[in-house]
Amino acid sequence: MKKKFKVLKIEHVAIAVKDINKSKFIFEDVLGMDSFKKEIIENENVVVKKITGNDKISKIELLESTNPLSAVSKFIDKKGEGIHHIALEVDNIFNAIDYLKFRNCKLIYKEPKIGADNKLITFIHPSSLPGILLELCQKQ
Burial class (CB in 10 A: 0-12, 13-18, 19+), 53: middle
Q: What is the pLDDT of residues 6-42, one digit of tens each?
A: 999 999 999 999 999 999 899 999 999 999 899 999 9
* CA-closest candidate to residue 23, choices 48, 54, 40: 48
pLDDT at 56: 85
Instruction: Report d(CA 117, CA 139) in Å as an integer.
Output: 8
* Tally of helices (H runs) and strands (E runs) in the chain: 3, 8
Q: Quick one: residue 64, left, alpha or beta (phi over 0 = left, psi -120 to 50 = alpha)?
A: beta
Q: Does an H or E element contain 78, and which?
A: helix 71-79
Each residue's pLDDT tens digit, 35-70: 989 999 999 999 999 999 888 888 999 999 999 999
Q: Pick 7-138's CATH classification: 3.10.180.10, 3.40.50.1980, 2.102.10.10, 1.10.3720.10.
A: 3.10.180.10
| pTM for this predicted structure | 0.93
Q: Which residues contact 71 (CB under 8 A, 6 or more apart)?
A: 44, 45
State residue 11's pLDDT score: 96
Q: Rounded mean pLDDT of the chain? A: 95
Vertex 9 angle, CA 61 and 127, to 5°: 70
Range 116-121 average pLDDT: 95
User: In this predicted structure, what is the pLDDT of residue 77?
Assistant: 97
How is the chain split into domains, by residue range? 7-138
pLDDT single digits (tens) 85-106:
999 999 999 999 999 999 999 9
